[in-house]
Amino acid sequence: MAMSANFPPAAREPSPLEQALKQFFGYDSFRPGQRQIIEDALHNRDLLIVMPTGGGKSLCFQLPALLKPGLTVVVSPLIALMQDQVEALRNNGIGATFLNSTLSWQAELRAKEAILNGRVKLLYVAPERLLSEKFMPFLEQVESEIGINGFAIDEAHCVSEWGHDFRPEYRQLRQLRRRYPKVPLMALTATATARVRTDITQQLALRQPVTHVASFNRPNLYYEVRPKHRQSYSELLQIIRTAGGSGIVYCLSRKKVDELALRLQKSNISALPYHAGMNDEERSVNQTRFIRDDAQVMVATIAFGMGINKPDVRFVVHYDLPRNLESYYQESGRAGRDGEPAKCTLFFSYGDLKTIEYLIDQKPDPQEQRIARQQLRRMIDYAEGTDCRRTIQLSYFGEQFTGNCSNCDSCRYPKPMEDWTVEAQKFLSCVARSGERFGVTHIIDVLRGCKNQKIQQYEHHKLSTYGIGKNRSEDDWKTLARTLLHQGLLDETSDGYRVLKLNERSWEVMRKQRTVFVARPVTEIANRTERSLRSAEVEMLFDRLRELRKEIADEQSVPPYMVFQDSTLRLMAQQRPQTLEKFGQLNGVVNYKVTRYGERFVAEIQAYCQEIESAVPAENLPSDTQQLTLELHQQGLSPAEIAQKRQLSPSTIIEHLTQLIESKQPVDINQLLPFERQSEILQAIETVGADSLKPIFDYLGERYSYDEIKLVRAWLRSGNDILGF
Ligand code: ADP
Ligand code: ZN
């Protein structure tokens, strides 16, 4: 083996591009693709950039804009997005401005002046304005006096009728190429299909563009599907309460949005509704409150999300089934744009499926119906699938993914497979014996020996398969039927009635030439969140820094993420820089922000470090499992409920709680037993001593459980004062 292999690689000097990245944006390294794109842009190439949401597209034109002489003009369709980006740039100390209808004429004049003085590096405009007769002369003047170094066309799929958001005014952008033949064009989009890509290149007349298509994999997103049932609401509450940040909950209808938002508010969650039935003002108020972290949860129809730039969304829940996988990808993709871990949960029920099928049946055009049905089928494949969720999603975009992502429920908690060949044989022969003329429900009724009218009418109680499936529940049989359909071991007609038909493979199953495996649902999807696995200390400091950030953001009327992103706060909480110099070295911190905010954050960190030095020694910190019990306790769950939720024995939970109490964790004893009972146990302890439990138990005349005694004894040992003692 070569000697040199034993030496650690020498720390590399940052390249000039990396230095610029740090200087202007505070980041240490490029995201995948960014460096190459920026180099191409610096060589004045035309570019087509396809990157998923959160991939970091903006930086691809922002950094070149700063490095080239002259002005970059950014075309953006949405006023809110424009303002947002300009604010973020200014907040990093970069000269940027926008021109749109919201500006007064004085403000517009000032902006134009700043541009002509060369104080602006990035100008954001809407397409219709850019190409208006009034604006063209100004643009000419800029070109001759300052120079235009590039046009960046954001949301470029808007030029394509095949995209999901066609805007005719985008078609006019073609003129740019004619009027400014020397200025390079960069088109950016998050829409993945090849059709849209070709369209963009043609419509904008891009010149031999370098095309960058990034992977649509979003590794920081955790994907999971949960069955929707009566307890789903408590699961939702738990997702919200353990998320450590804001989130979106999507519902199918306006009515459901209103109901769920109200219900969450009653559970003490700051949730707001958003749907197309509300007026513009209500919607924009709610949106601002969500972006500024004044409300934690947005309950919304799919009307919410397009063009909303909130990078720190920590979870997206689909409380109802989305119509297709592409929408699901885009909607859930609004989580974690900042690259930090985020969770995407889909609650799936067959009831929802029925609703969507009903809606599809209402469509007048049979062709449209067919497409919608196909898309729905892919959606169900995703929801029911046992493969890696990423593999299923990415294959939808034509991307190969090897699976084993370890960041989806299928990979983390593979479902146990059971051999149900015998059941499958029963089911299929029942289909055969009843003449392949019936649907799933009827077949199950026959198997389970029901006595309904339809069975009488067809004399199906006389079939040899009648009642041979009583040992399984209706749900089990439904699961089996779906599995058979999925695995292609059975067919179903789709024209009007859904009749089951046998195929070649069905017969192979019946002839014992094939085995059938069914995935069983995992009852305890580990609800543990990333959060509970992280150390409590980092978490506590993170929460304090979040509060400080919110305070500063409110003072300046900006959304909190503009002050610092979650990832930067997390680094602060982990590395705890206690000097301004160390603070400035954190990834995501530019000099400008050190000057503006450094002192307050460093002071908070110093205060925290002093507090923990004088506090509990580390070995007294709760273990992960105790921490989880503590969190549930703090959410108001009783020990029995915690035990049930965690599938642990009640005595284990009591054990956790006593240890938590003894290590001075914030357990509320009054929540566990009423004051009168506490005081009677205390009296007993004072009389017979606390060394062993039995004497206390006996003294109390067996009216108190050992658990109660343990809790109170722990309380006493921890040196806590119980009221009056
Ligand atoms: P997109 O427009 O592709 O959805 P953005 O340009 O809004 O994505 O970037 C998403 C997030 O990633 C932003 O919060 C941005 O500040 C951050 N980001 C971009 N590039 C980097 C980088 N090199 N390092 C760290 N964060 C980055
Ligand atoms: Zn996976």
pLDDT of 186 higher than 80: yes
What's the DSSP call for residue 500?
Answer: E
pLDDT of 43 higher than 60: yes
Rounded to an integer, the average pLDDT of 514-539 is 61
Which atom number of ligand 1 is nearest to the Cα of residue 53?
Answer: 4
Annotate 262-279 with b (16+ C-beta within 10 A) or e (fewer): eebbebebebbbbbeebe
Q: Which ligand is nearest to the CA of 219?
A: 2
Beta-bridge mates of residue 387? none
Please choose from 18, 19, 25 the residue to mutate so as to test ligand 1's pocket, defined by most ligand atoms within 8 A of CB. Answer: 25
Q: What is the mean pLDDT of the chain?
A: 88
pLDDT score of 635: 86
SS3 track for 260-313: HHHHHHHCCCCEEEECCCCCHHHHHHHHHHHHCCCCCEEEECCCCCCCCCCCCE
Query: The tokens 């513009």 sit on which residue?
Result: 280
Which atom number of ligand 1 is nearest to the Cα of residue 30?
Answer: 23
Dig out the tokens for 154 from the structure.
Answer: 């954001």
pLDDT of 530 higher than 70: no
Q: Residue 83's closest CA among 333, 314, 307?
A: 307
pLDDT score of 8: 45
Q: Which residues contact 273 (CB under 8 A, 6 or more apart)?
A: 257, 258, 261, 286, 299, 300
CB atoms within 10 A of CB 29: 11
Per-residue pLDDT band for 720 (boundaries 50, 70, 90) equals low
| Closest CA to ligand 1's atom 14 | 338
pLDDT score of 540: 85
pLDDT score of 723: 41
| Closest CA to ligand 1's atom 20 | 56
Per-residue pLDDT band for 495 (boundaries 50, 70, 90) equals low
Handedness of CA 190, 196, 202, 208 (dihedral sign): positive
Q: How far apart are CA 197 and CA 188, in angstroms?
A: 10
Size of the chain, expressed as the number of residues it contains = 725
Dig out the tokens for 138 from the structure.
Answer: 């100004």
Q: How far apart are CA 590 and CA 92, in angstroms?
A: 7
Please choose from 337, 565, 566, 587 the residue to mutate so as to test ligand 1's pocket, defined by most ligand atoms within 8 A of CB. Answer: 337
Per-residue pLDDT band for 408 (boundaries 50, 70, 90) equals very high
Compute the distance from residue 167 Cα to the ligand 1 centre, in Å: 25
pLDDT score of 685: 86
Per-residue pLDDT band for 6 (boundaries 50, 70, 90) equals very low
Q: Which ligand is nearest to the CA of 60?
A: 1
Which atom number of ligand 1 is nearest to the Cα of residue 85?
Answer: 7
Q: How far apart are CA 18 and CA 41, in angstroms?
A: 15
Compute the distance from residue 394 Cα to the ligand 2 centre, in Å: 11
Please choose from 59, 82, 85, 586 the residue to mutate so as to test ligand 1's pocket, defined by most ligand atoms within 8 A of CB. Answer: 59
- Dihedrals phi, psi of 110, to nearest 5 degrees: -60, -40
| Closest CA to ligand 1's atom 24 | 27
**Which residues have any ligand 1 atom within 6 Å of their CB?**
27, 30-31, 34, 51, 53-59, 311, 337-339, 565
Task: Show the DSSP H helices in 341-420 as ranges.
Answer: 350-361, 366-384, 389-396, 409-412
398 Ramachandran zone, left/alpha/beta (phi>0; psi -120 to 50) = left
What proportion of the chain, given as a percentage, has pLDDT over 90? Answer: 54
Q: Which ligand is nearest to the CA of 27?
A: 1
pLDDT of 22 higher than 60: yes
Q: How far apart are CA 212 and CA 57, in angstroms?
A: 11
Cut 0.85: pTM above it = no
Tens-digit pLDDT profile for residues 285-314: 999 999 999 999 999 999 898 767 899 999
pLDDT score of 145: 96
Compute the distance from residue 647 Cα to the ligand 2 centre, in Å: 25
pLDDT of 3 higher than 50: no
Rounded to an integer, the average pLDDT of 405-434 is 91
Per-residue pLDDT band for 54 (boundaries 50, 70, 90) equals confident
Rounded to an integer, the average pLDDT of 637-654 is 90
Q: Is 695 exposed, middle or buried (0-12, 13-18, 19+ CB in 10 A)?
A: middle
Compute the distance from residue 311 Cα to the ligand 1 centre, in Å: 8
Compute the distance from residue 335 Cα to the ligand 1 centre, in Å: 13
Which atom number of ligand 1 is nearest to the Cα of residue 55?
Answer: 3
Compute the distance from residue 321 Cα to the ligand 2 centre, in Å: 20
pLDDT score of 526: 41
Q: How far apart are CA 325 and CA 615, in angstroms?
A: 50
Compute the distance from residue 553 Cα to the ligand 1 centre, in Å: 20
Q: How far apart are CA 255 and CA 301, in angstroms?
A: 10
pLDDT score of 524: 41
Which atom number of ligand 1 is nearest to the Cα of residue 31?
Answer: 23
pLDDT of 523 higher than 50: no
